[in-house]
Amino acid sequence: MSALSVSNLSVTFQGRDKGFTAVRDVSFDVGAGETFGLIGPSGCGKTTVLRAIAGLNTNWQGSIAVSGEPLQPGRKITGALRASIQMVFQDPYSSLHPRHRISRILGEPLSLRGERDVEDQVRTALERVGLPAAVAGRYPHQLSGGQRQRVAIARALLLKPKLLLLDEPTSALDVSVQAGILNLLNDLKSSEGMTFVLVSHDPGVVAHMCDRAVIMDAGRIARAMDRAQIAASWSDAAAVAG
Amino acid sequence: MTDPLLQVEDLSISFPSANGPVRIVDGVSFSVGREVVALVGESGSGKSMTGRAIMGLLPSRAQVAAARLSFDGQDLTAFPEKAWNSLRGSGMGLILQDPKYSLNPAHRIGRQVEEALLLHTKLSAAERRERALDMLDKVGLPDVDRIYSSYPAALSGGMGQRVMIAAMLINRPKLLIADEPTSALDRGLQDQILTLLRSLSGELGMGLLLISHDLQQVSRYADRVMVMRRGKIDEQMVSADLANAKSDYTRALWAARPSAATYGTRLPVYGEQP
């Protein structure tokens, strides 16, 4: 059974008089434990695919199943499935509440689910993403970009997701900070047994992280690549540019 | 070799703060000739402030000191404001990260590209238009007549950045400072813009200072690379020697970039025990 199965996914945004189809007939399968890349230029629809899987946009056609459980178009994701699918966004600053302390940002999803030992869990989560416990008392603006992204990853991890959706998780960060975050993601993937879907426009990040990938263009899948093809096409690209 | 275009010796920049002045740039020295030089550093390294100091564009509360800051034989340390204006319009140009904020949304492209000619030359309107169309063509834009009379909103990010380059180059500056000129663009477009900047600098005999956070990327386009960290130049060298850099920081920055070759491995993180 695939960790994620997407078939014939289409997403149309309604304009005043005509619709715009951002994703057309996209199908792919991601195996458990894989890191799957969605790549392509701005506007190709890669983030739209991710948002449909995350349940942030429920207005889609086709079918999406996570660990065999189908999502319903037009409906919010609920129950156990809601915790299984988590997302990390590009800009950690705009994805963390600016007026809430880190302890509240991390604790809220747990409290909402009626969990008890919230404080302990928050402390453990911070430790797992390599942040000192003192971070819990700070506000997002008191942290560096890399620290904020670690908080966002900790927030996603707290719900013990099976599928982590990563939307350009390091493109706002310095190269040396990026290296730390990519290491962290790979460590957590193996220790927590997660599956990743990674959206990126950086060929280096894709080539470092992904086992398989699809290149999207104008809402469709233009090309599917296995590991060997990723390695070959990206080292070619570097050679041409160099 | 003749004197380099730009000479910077012992440049320091401080900003006042509640706890006394904070030194952002600390005793930086380098020179740029008619070549492509990359100034690389991470957030807060002082690379952009260095670029701005060269153009006299630091905020007035910044305290700047330099043993020497000269451009094309002129001493910039004692430059009056009026002289800066003419220097910026014709001797030096600056390209910033995001064309969305650098182009005026209410003015047509043609007017913005021609502005430097209007301010610094006595060319007629027809001559200015001809030069502008020529320049738009040189930066690789299609259908230049249409673009000339379009507004910035009609352009994509990559086209907007090409327009900015055209506007900066129209007066044939001797030195172009490009501060993260491609960070707001897709990877594929980034390479196109950097290739364009490099080839234009050769064609026009112009010095190019590329300010960037991406060491591997700019090193492919620069003759020389200077790596900045915490306000100081950590190391400078010819791009070809980068893989054998001496400083730990430069080596870490070089190796931290992910690629197909690093798949399945941990990336080195500067300051972290391996």
Nearest CA in chain B to A130: B272
Q: Please indicate whether, in this complex, the C-beta atoms of B186 and A41 are within 8 angstroms of each other.
A: yes
Question: With left for phi above 0 and alpha for psi between -120 and 50, is residue B23 left, alpha or beta?
Answer: beta
Query: What is the arithmetic mean of pLDDT over B21-38?
Result: 96
What span, in angstroms and rounded, lies between the C-alpha atoms of A38 and A42? 12
Which residues neighbour A92 within 8 Å (Cβ) at sequence distance 6 or greater?
A140, A145, A148, A149, A151, A152, A172
Q: What share of chain A has pLDDT > 70, as a percent?
A: 97
Q: Supply B167's token pair.
A: 């506007």
Looking at residue B214, the DSSP 8-state letter turns out to be -
Mapping DSSP to helix (H, G, I), strand (E, B) and coil, where does residue B199 land?
helix
Cβ neighbours of B272 in A, within 8 Å = 180
Please check whether residue B179 touches A, CB under 8 A: no
Among the partner-chain residues B252, B258, B269, the one whose CB lies closest to the CB of A208 is B258
CA distances in angstroms from B167 to A113, B114, B115, B172, listed in the order given: 56, 7, 8, 10
Mapping DSSP to helix (H, G, I), strand (E, B) and coil, where does residue A59 land?
coil
Mapping DSSP to helix (H, G, I), strand (E, B) and coil, where does residue B22 land?
strand
- pLDDT tens digit string along B113-140? 999 999 999 999 999 999 999 999 999 8
Number of Cβ within 10 Å of residue B230's Cβ equals: 15
Cβ neighbours of B97 in A, within 8 Å = none
- pLDDT confidence of residue B152: 93
- pLDDT confidence of residue A46: 93
B108: pLDDT strictly greater than 60: yes
Q: Please indicate whether, in this complex, the C-beta atoms of A208 and B262 are within 8 angstroms of each other.
A: yes
**B209 falls in which pLDDT band (50, 70, 90)?**
very high
A242: pLDDT strictly greater than 50: no
- pLDDT confidence of residue B239: 93
Best mutation target among B155, B185, B187, B270 (most A Cβ atoms within 10 Å) is B187
Please check whether residue B196 touches A, CB under 8 A: no
What span, in angstroms and rounded, lies between the C-alpha atoms of B181 and B225? 16
Among the partner-chain residues A145, A174, A203, the one whose CB lies closest to the CB of B187 is A203
Best mutation target among A208, A216, A227 (most B Cβ atoms within 10 Å) is A208
What span, in angstroms and rounded, lies between the C-alpha atoms of A127 and A184? 12
Please check whether residue A41 touches B, CB under 8 A: yes
A237: pLDDT strictly greater than 70: no
Sign of the dihedral through C-alpha B212, B215, B220, B225:
positive
Among the partner-chain residues B187, B253, B260, the one whose CB lies closest to the CB of A230 is B260
What span, in angstroms and rounded, lies between the C-alpha atoms of A198 and A216? 13
Q: Please give the single-letter amino acid code of residue A14.
A: Q
Query: C-alpha angle A217/A230/B244, rounded to 5°?
Result: 120
- Closest-CA distance of chain B to residue A204, Å: 4
φ, ψ of residue B144 in degrees (nearest 5): -65, -30
φ, ψ of residue A165 in degrees (nearest 5): -100, 120
ipTM reported for the complex surpasses 0.95: no
Q: Element (H or E) spanning A79, and its range? A: helix A79-84
Looking at residue A230, the DSSP 8-state letter turns out to be H
Number of Cβ pairs < 8 A linking chain A and chain B = 73
Query: What is the arithmetic mean of pLDDT over B221-231?
Result: 96
- pLDDT confidence of residue A235: 62
Q: Please give the single-letter amino acid code of residue B162.
A: R
- pLDDT tens digit string along A126-140? 998 999 999 999 999
- pLDDT confidence of residue A240: 37
Q: Please indicate whether, in this complex, the C-beta atoms of A202 and B263 are within 8 angstroms of each other.
A: no
- The answer to whether residues B60 and B2 touch, using CB atoms and an 8 Å cutoff, is no
Cβ neighbours of A199 in B, within 8 Å = none
Which residues of chain A from 81 to 120 reach within 8 Å of chain B, CB to CB?
none
- Closest-CA distance of chain B to residue A17, Å: 21
Which residues of chain A from 143 to 172 reach within 8 Å of chain B, CB to CB?
145
B205: pLDDT strictly greater than 70: yes
Spell out the alpha helix ranges (H) of A55-174. 79-84, 92-95, 102-112, 118-128, 145-157
- pLDDT confidence of residue A177: 86
Please check whether residue B243 touches A, CB under 8 A: no
Q: What are the DSSP calls for B38-68, one per residue?
A: EEE--TTSSHHHHHHHHTT-S-TT-EEE-SE
Cβ neighbours of B256 in A, within 8 Å = 175-176, 178-179
Please check whether residue A180 touches B, CB under 8 A: yes
- pLDDT confidence of residue A145: 85
- pLDDT tens digit string along A86-103? 999 987 778 899 999 999
Among the partner-chain residues B191, B260, B267, the one whose CB lies closest to the CB of A182 is B267
Bridge pairing between strands B224-229 and B36-40? parallel
Q: Supply A76's token pair.
A: 């919010």
Best mutation target among A176, A185, A211 (most B Cβ atoms within 10 Å) is A176
Among the partner-chain residues A179, A230, A231, the one whose CB lies closest to the CB of B269 is A179
Please check whether residue B274 touches A, CB under 8 A: no
Is the pTM here over 0.90, yes or no?
no
- pLDDT tens digit string along A23-63? 999 999 999 999 999 998 888 999 999 999 999 999 999 99
H helix count then E strand count, chain B: 10, 11
Among the partner-chain residues A176, A208, A235, the one whose CB lies closest to the CB of B42 is A176
- pLDDT confidence of residue B186: 77
